[in-house]
Amino acid sequence: MAIPTKVAERISKNLSKFQNVLKRAKDKDLNESDTVQIINDILAYVFGYDKYSEVTSELAIRGTFCDLAIKINDKFQFLIECKAIGIQLKDNHLKQAIDYGANKGIPWVVLTNGTNWEIYKIKFEKPISYDLVCTFNLIELSSKKDDDLEKLFILCKEGLSKDHRENFYEKTQCVNKFIIGAFILSEPVISRIKKELRTFADGVKIENEEIEYIVKQEILRREIIEGEDAEKYLSKIKKYYKKLNRQEDKKESGKMTQKESGKTENSTEMENNKIH
């Protein structure tokens, strides 16, 4: 989507400045408290929040306080878990952030050390789950690249009113390597490949299983077809095709009913003609 000119100009003006600040902070290996101060300024000057009224560190969760939270019109928009700039973000840090968000009913959670930013959306299911929406290294981004601006706009104040984060999230759930991999391995696509191969190879006999084996072993990377993420998206594709098949069956059933109804009407009309 098009980023508002005012936002793009603000990012362009301030991004490089904070990239230099972060580089110096990394060289000095600043502690968590000092890193949080830099992140607070980034939220103000890059992402457009009023750091005195819209950014708070007073959100109490289970007797402790989260590092930062974005609050607009009395509603928490992001919970931000911060680590020292020299600390590598790990699974236990993510678990802490997700637990905070889940306990406060805040679906959008950010984990950052100032340089690396990870944005997650919590799904309030049983059990609680979450999806990675976006991740980026702030030092490596460019305000001249549309893809980079799109990532930054997820966290911008203006992006909230345009619902950019939700749209971006939906896109990541529908367009990613796992979904595409699952589609490639789906029966309709494999059958289509078989049809094209038979035409190309002048009728050479080939079965779906052979194509599927080649795709799995020689074309797709293992991470795309194995593991928790792969299984989750494969399940989505299977549900999609089941729904599609049910809809097709319903249509066919409706057509059959119409045909039967038409036959009955024709039969009744013929009987009436005989009587007359």
pTM as predicted: 0.73
Among 16-25, 55-64, 208-217, name the most confident range: 16-25
Residues 193-221: what's their mean pLDDT? 89
Among 53-57, 88-92, 136-140, name the most confident range: 136-140
Whether the per-residue pLDDT at 276 is higher than 80: the answer is no
For residues 228 and 10, which has the higher predicted lDDT (pLDDT)? Answer: 10
Whether the per-residue pLDDT at 270 is higher than 60: the answer is no
CB-CB contact of 119 with 108 (8 Å): yes
What domains are there in the chain, each with its CATH number?
5-162 (3.90.1570), 179-275 (no CATH)
Host H or E run for residue 4: none
pLDDT tens digits along 28-57: 999 999 999 999 999 999 999 999 999 998
With the C-alpha atoms ordered 264, 268, 269, 271, is the resulting torsion angle positive or negative?
Answer: positive
Q: Which two tokens stand for residue 254?
A: 């409706």
Residue-level pLDDT at 170: 85
Our CA dihedral for 9, 11, 12, 16, rounded to 10 degrees, sits at 160
Q: Which two tokens stand for residue 273?
A: 């003609």
| DSSP annotation string for 52-114 | TTTEES--EETTEE-SEEEEETTEEEEEEEE--TTSPP-HHHHHHHHHHHHHHT--EEEEE-S
For residues 234 and 14, which has the higher predicted lDDT (pLDDT)? Answer: 14
Helix (H, G, I), strand (E, B) or coil at 195: helix
Residue-level pLDDT at 266: 60
Rounded Cα distance between 14 and 4, Å, is 16
